[in-house]
């Protein structure tokens, strides 16, 4: 008899690679799923080994409560009662905003939606944000500012191999999203060119036709220098600028202050390379720019991304076939996670919490008075920084800020200072180990739910096996807590029922999911939002400009199965006819280079930048529990140039101390010519003495509130073995 396998998606990055799970004794195994168009069967090591985390030997299977300073097993009723008491005590003593909620970019759309609703309806708190703020908030802010709408990629990944030139800024796809590397290979096989911008010569940069290695923190100057050359060489698309944009005069003037020799002095990128980049980008009929965490995780990340968008607009490379600007979302549901309410300033459907019409619409779906909904709260780092002072109790789901937050030792101290901390997670992470109550929750293969990939493709993950006894879903957790806090209805445990409510809440909003159903997702390999329900009545509460007009999008479906008669086909490609602004025009935003928040000096003469390695993921809470992945990447390291190593008298493998104004991290040296002599690199997946985020700077972008993970001043010293 043929074994039945379950089609689903990888639990890790925002590619959301398709896979199948087949039952085997004691669990499931991963098999290829060639029918899913994004990865076409290919998987990285993390995806292949994901079932290892389903074993009861590596994950939580019972609630834990703190007794006498130690976490001990407890029953679910006791654990939920303690959380309800901890939250209600803080609220009674200090007000609703004394309760905080911190979510994660790996939560499904249903869980992110329910968590945001729980914070605002049950707790009445404005103090909710999520770790996706650390992922692509700067790109989201810049995209919204320029185009009126943010979706990581406004086109499918399948368009990348067919463009003429791709500038990839601050992304190492070979390590972070290995199955996506094929798109770069196919681009070059088709005659297109690849330019990679990265201070390190990564495995991805090695694939490039041209590698630009700017000094960390100077991406903004680089983009402005390229735009200066576009203008000086007469390569602007004046017809496009006239017909489809606004604000060009001021943006051009700002760029012209960044002449090539000045930019070379700032960035270290030679003028001939700047000129070659402009020629490679402008000569083909179509071209793209994709950014990732490199330019985004800076205290000027929004302006930096805005400068790259200005380059696209000035050359007519946005809202045209096979051209455009896009952001490579990192976390598995980083896109959907911020669309439906767990971000401090947003309501479901990507509606603004400050918009009266949006508040009326969502409040009507929730059955509450819109005046009872709190306003925007603190951003992620600001929320963590307020723990133990303004915020006295915290409910945290699916995040590990002890490892992943900037200035991590300080954040750890703030978590320890709380009156009460509850954590729901799959494993006993470093953050969960500090909690008063820890709840064991289901994983990707044990629950059904939707995620939204970096393409804006909404996908259905299907339950393939039962969770261990003693484990509940996050939806069951929120249901149980809401009931204990006096809200008996409105928090169902069935994910499809939650998604049905999410559809209604998102209807008419920029991220409209109302035309998406579980049945369609199962048959159509996902659907791109916006995907409105054509049969739905117009939203009487909607104000002008709150919906994404149909004409902002090219709606040709990419699914193998056609949409049902009368159903919206989804929106693979945005902006081909108009942008999602009131007048349909994209906005140039004038920006100018400014230094990083922290520049090197005599005491801290070297720059630190951070990133990921292929065998680990984010804070490593899950991947560090997989033997095969640990064997490939067993611990942190300090990557440095031979010239810096010679000055220190350091050899490969010697312990080095990297010291910033915030703390000290120790890890073995890895000497390579692939990095600039003025820069060191550390991966950020590990806790303890090698924790890279002990060093990083929490300086925030004024628009996105993104911390400056990617650049800070340090000194490097020999450390005692």
Residues 380 and 441 in one domain: yes
Comparing 162-166, 327-331, 349-353, which segment has the lowest mean pLDDT? Answer: 327-331
CA atoms within 13 A on the CB side of 587: 17
Q: Which helix or strand (DSSP H or E) is residue 313 part of?
A: helix 301-314
Asked if residue 551 has pLDDT above 80, the reply is no
| Domain annotation covers residue 546 | no
| Domain annotation covers residue 364 | yes
Q: How far apart are CA 299 and CA 600, in angstroms?
A: 16
- Calculate what percentage of the chain has a pLDDT beyond 90: 93
pLDDT tier at 498, thresholds 50, 70, 90? very high
pLDDT at residue 555, rounded to an integer:
39
Residues 166 and 129 in one domain: no
What's the whole-number mean pLDDT along residues 709-716?
98
Domain final position from 289, 311, 327: 327
The enclosing domain of 280 has a CATH number of 3.40.228.10
Residues 371 and 434 in one domain: yes
Token digits for 304?
């930096």
pLDDT at residue 565, rounded to an integer:
78
Asked if residue 542 has pLDDT above 60, the reply is no
Residues 406 and 341 in one domain: yes
Summarize pLDDT for 122-160 with one digit per residue, the tens.
Answer: 999 999 999 999 988 999 999 999 999 999 999 999 999
Q: Per DSSP, what are the bridge partners of residue 24?
A: 27
What's the whole-number mean pLDDT along residues 414-425?
98
Helix (H, G, I), strand (E, B) or coil at 177: coil
| Domain annotation covers residue 146 | no
pLDDT tier at 3, thresholds 50, 70, 90? low
pLDDT at residue 661, rounded to an integer:
98
- Calculate what percentage of the chain has a pLDDT beyond 70: 96
Q: How far apart are CA 334 and CA 137, in angstroms?
A: 10
Asked if residue 484 has pLDDT above 70, the reply is yes
- Yes or no: say if 356 and 369 are a contact pair by the CB < 8 Å rule: no
Asked if residue 540 has pLDDT above 70, the reply is no
601: burial class by Cβ within 10 Å (0-12, 13-18, 19+)?
A: exposed
pLDDT at residue 27, rounded to an integer:
86
pLDDT at residue 536, rounded to an integer:
74
Q: How far apart are CA 555 and CA 242, in angstroms?
A: 25
pLDDT tier at 259, thresholds 50, 70, 90? very high
Asked if residue 436 has pLDDT above 90, the reply is yes
Residues 283 and 410 in one domain: no
| Nearest alpha-carbon partner for 421 in 77, 64, 120 | 64
pLDDT at residue 56, rounded to an integer:
85
Q: How far apart are CA 303 and CA 305, in angstroms?
A: 5
| Domain annotation covers residue 431 | yes
Q: How far apart are CA 48 and CA 554, in angstroms?
A: 35
Summarize pLDDT for 628-651 with one digit per residue, the tens.
Answer: 999 999 999 999 999 999 999 999
Domain final position from 292, 327, 362: 327
pLDDT at residue 2, rounded to an integer:
54
C-beta atoms surrounding 88 within 10 Å = 16
Residues 228 and 311 in one domain: yes
The enclosing domain of 714 has a CATH number of 2.40.40.20
Asked if residue 103 has pLDDT above 50, the reply is yes
Q: How far apart are CA 198 and CA 621, in angstroms?
A: 27
The DSSP code sequence of 107-140 is: S-HHHHHHHHHIIIIII--S-EEETTHHHHHHHH
> Which distant-in-sequence residues (6+ apart) come within 8 Å of 426 by Cβ?
53, 59, 60, 440, 441, 443, 622
Summarize pLDDT for 264-299 with one digit per residue, the tens.
Answer: 999 999 999 999 999 999 999 999 999 999 999 999
Domain final position from 312, 327, 342: 327
Residues 706 and 619 in one domain: yes
Token digits for 455?
């393409």
pLDDT at residue 561, rounded to an integer:
64
What's the whole-number mean pLDDT along residues 15-21?
96
pLDDT at residue 559, rounded to an integer:
44
Asked if residue 447 has pLDDT above 90, the reply is yes
Longest distance between any two alpha carbons in the chain, whole Å: 72
Q: How far apart are CA 302 and CA 317, in angstroms?
A: 19
- pTM of the entire structure? 0.95
The enclosing domain of 74 has a CATH number of 3.40.50.740
Token digits for 259?
């002449």
pLDDT at residue 563, rounded to an integer:
77
Q: How far apart are CA 698 and CA 671, in angstroms?
A: 28
What's the whole-number mean pLDDT along residues 609-619?
96
Residues 81 and 176 in one domain: no
Residues 322 and 196 in one domain: yes
pLDDT tier at 578, thresholds 50, 70, 90? very high
| Domain annotation covers residue 290 | yes
Average pLDDT, the chain: 95
pLDDT at residue 271, rounded to an integer:
98
pLDDT tier at 539, thresholds 50, 70, 90? low
What's the whole-number mean pLDDT along residues 685-689?
97
What's the whole-number mean pLDDT along residues 95-109?
97
Summarize pLDDT for 516-531 with one digit per residue, the tens.
Answer: 999 999 999 999 999 9
> What's the number of domains the chain is made of?
4
Residues 255 and 294 in one domain: yes
pLDDT at residue 471, rounded to an integer:
97
Asked if residue 544 has pLDDT above 50, the reply is no
HEC per residue, 549-571: CHHHEECCCCCCCCCCCCCCCCC
Range of the structural domain that residue 358 is part of? 64-134+333-445+468-494
| Domain annotation covers residue 560 | no
What's the whole-number mean pLDDT along residues 369-373?
98
| Domain annotation covers residue 272 | yes
| Domain annotation covers residue 390 | yes
Residues 481 and 413 in one domain: yes
Residues 231 and 206 in one domain: yes
């Amino acid at each position: 008899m043929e074994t039945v396998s379950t089609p689903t998606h990888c639990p890790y990055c925002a590619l959301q690679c398709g896979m199948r799970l087949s039952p085997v004794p004691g669990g499931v195994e991963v098999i290829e799923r060639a029918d899913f168009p994004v990865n076409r069967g290919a998987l990285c090591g993390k995806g292949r080994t994901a079932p290892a985390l389903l074993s009861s030997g590596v994950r939580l299977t019972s609630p834990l409560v703190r007794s006498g300073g130690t976490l001990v097993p407890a029953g679910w009723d006791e654990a939920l009662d303690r959380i309800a008491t901890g939250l209600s005590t803080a609220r009674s003593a200090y007000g609703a905003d004394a309760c905080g909620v911190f979510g994660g970019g790996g939560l499904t759309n249903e869980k992110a939606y329910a968590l945001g609703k729980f914070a605002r309806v049950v707790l009445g708190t404005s103090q909710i944000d999520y770790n996706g703020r650390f992922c692509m908030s700067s790109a989201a802010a810049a995209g919204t500012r320029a185009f009126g709408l943010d979706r990581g990629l406004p086109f499918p990944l399948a368009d990348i191999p067919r463009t003429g030139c791709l500038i990839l800024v601050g992304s190492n796809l070979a390590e972070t999203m290995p199955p996506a590397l094929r798109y770069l290979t196919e681009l070059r096989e088709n005659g297109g060119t690849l330019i990679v911008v990265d201070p390190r010569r990564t495995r991805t940069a090695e694939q490039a036709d041209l590698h630009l290695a700017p000094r960390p923190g100077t991406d903004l100057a680089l983009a402005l220098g390229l735009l200066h050359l576009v203008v000086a060489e007469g390569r602007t698309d004046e017809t496009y600028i006239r017909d489809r944009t606004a604000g060009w005069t001021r943006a051009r003037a700002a760029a012209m202050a960044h002449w090539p020799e000045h930019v070379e002095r700032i960035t270290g990128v030679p003028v001939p390379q700047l000129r070659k980049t402009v020629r490679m980008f402008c000569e083909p009929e179509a071209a793209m720019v994709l950014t990732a965490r490199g330019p985004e995780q800076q205290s000027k990340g929004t302006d930096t991304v805005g400068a790259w968008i200005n380059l696209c607009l000035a050359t007519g490379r946005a809202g045209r076939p096979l051209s455009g600007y896009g952001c490579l979302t990192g976390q598995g549901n980083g896109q959907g996670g911020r669309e439906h309410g767990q971000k401090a300033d947003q309501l479901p459907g990507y509606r603004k919490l400050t918009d009266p019409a949006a508040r009326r619409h969502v409040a009507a779906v929730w059955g509450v008075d819109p005046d009872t909904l709190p306003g925007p709260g603190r951003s992620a780092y600001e929320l963590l920084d307020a723990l133990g002072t303004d915020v006295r109790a915290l409910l945290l789901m699916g995040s590990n800020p002890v490892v992943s937050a900037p200035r991590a030792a300080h954040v750890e101290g703030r978590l320890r200072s709380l009156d009460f901390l509850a954590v729901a997670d799959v494993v006993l992470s470093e953050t969960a180990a500090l909690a008063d109550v820890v709840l064991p929750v289901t994983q990707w293969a044990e629950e059904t739910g939707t995620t939204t990939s970096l393409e804006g493709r909404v996908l259905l993950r299907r339950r393939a096996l039962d969770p261990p006894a003693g484990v509940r879903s996050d939806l069951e957790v929120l249901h149980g807590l809401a009931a204990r806090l006096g809200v008996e209805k409105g928090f169902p445990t069935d994910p499809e029922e939650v998604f049905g409510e999410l559809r209604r809440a998102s209807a008419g909003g920029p991220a409209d999911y109302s035309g998406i159903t579980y049945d369609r997702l199962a048959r159509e390999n996902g659907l791109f939002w916006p995907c409105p329900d054509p049969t739905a009545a117009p939203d009487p509460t909607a104000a002008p400009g709150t919906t994404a007009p149909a004409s902002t999008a090219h709606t040709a479906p990419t699914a193998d199965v056609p949409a049902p008669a009368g159903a919206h086909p989804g929106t693979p490609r945005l902006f081909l006819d108009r942008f999602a602004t009131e007048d349909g025009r994209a906005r140039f935003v004038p920006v100018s280079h400014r230094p990083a928040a922290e520049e090197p000096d005599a005491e801290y003469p070297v720059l630190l930048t951070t990133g990921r390695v292929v065998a680990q993921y984010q804070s490593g809470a899950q991947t560090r529990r997989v033997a095969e992945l640990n064997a490939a990447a067993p611990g942190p390291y300090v990557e440095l140039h031979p010239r810096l190593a010679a000055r220190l008298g350091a050899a490969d493998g010697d312990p080095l101390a990297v010291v910033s104004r915030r703390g000290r991290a120790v890890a073995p040296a890895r000497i390579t010519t692939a990095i600039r002599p003025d820069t060191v690199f550390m991966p950020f997946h590990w806790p303890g003495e090698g924790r890279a985020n002990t060093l990083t700077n929490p300086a925030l972008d004024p628009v996105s509130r993104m911390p400056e993970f990617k650049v800070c001043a340090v000194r490097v010293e020999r450390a005692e073995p």
